Amino acid sequence: MHTSPTIRKVFEGVATRPEMYGMFNRHRGDPAMAEGDAAQLFAGEWFELAEREHDYMLEILPPLWMRGDMFAMREFMTASVTSVFLSLSIDGQMRWFHGYCDLSDRASPERMKAAIIERESRPVRAMTRVERLEHIWSSTHDDYRGYAGERWPAAVRGHRTVLVYAGRHGSVTKLLDELTEAEIAAKLPVQLRHLSEAVAA
């Protein structure tokens, strides 16, 4: 039986071209990449981009397929997971998105589309804790993020880590999932710090 990946937003706002390429490489260094088992890292992730970036990606290579308001990249990220670009009308406004879909499940692009429309049609702008953490991971430079290695307890090895400022203790490496609300706020851009907390669906 096919297990559908969790569809999740990994960046708040409209990604610039450098940010878009950064998102394509956001799992570089993950142990699963070296083991060749990275499909679950990518499948289900999505973010918003500008029309210019959407059109630029369409012109790079002939798409694998086009279906009305979406097209799939011919080059796969890993296994059967590839980039799907969408142009969607949400609340009467055209917007553009990128998502990773596992094409071994033929319904995955339509599920991605429905999830994006549902998420972006909410009347109040808000972010869940998970979305805040994903945005931090997506926007943190490689030099300041990594993965728990041998010096960490066995149970958390391979988990994502980020560098945080710890006051008089200076900068320390901490598990991304264990950041406090204050640490999350400090690492978010100013315009995102005061968004209300959304309840996870």
Last residue of a domain, one of 77, 100, 120: 120
First and final CA of the chain: distance in angstroms? 24
**Residue 12: which of 56, 46, 40, 53 has the closest Cα?**
46
Mean pLDDT, to the nearest integer, of 125-141? Answer: 92
Task: Tell me the residue range of the domain where 160 lies.
Answer: 126-197
45 shares its domain with 59: yes
The rounded distance, in Å, linking the Cα atoms of 97 and 94 is: 10
Greater confidence (1 vs 61) lies with 61
Q: Are 186 and 91 in a shared domain?
A: no
Question: Where among 72, 105, 120 does a domain terminate?
Answer: 120
Do 17 and 108 belong together in one domain? yes
The reply to whether 135 and 191 lie within a common domain is yes
- Mark whether 73 and 146 lie in a shared domain: no
Classify the phi-psi angles of 68: left when phi > 0, otherwise alpha if psi is within -120 to 50, otherwise beta. left
Annotate 4-26 with b (16+ C-beta within 10 A) or e (fewer): ebebbbbbbebbeeebbebbeeb
d(CA 183, CA 199): 20
Contacts of 65 (CB under 8 A, 6+ apart): 71, 72
The count of structural domains within the chain is: 2
109 in the same domain as 12: yes
> What's the confidence (pLDDT) of residue 150?
92
pLDDT band at 39 (very low <50, low <70, confident <90, very high): confident
Q: Is the pLDDT of residue 8 over 80?
A: yes
Residues 26 and 114 occupy one common structural domain = yes
Assess whether pLDDT exceeds 50 at residue 5: yes
Percent of the chain topping pLDDT 70: 93
Band of pLDDT at residue 200, cut at 50, 70 and 90: very low
What pTM value is reported for the model? Answer: 0.90
Residue that is last in its domain, among 93, 120, 147: 120
CA 109 centroid distance within chain:
16
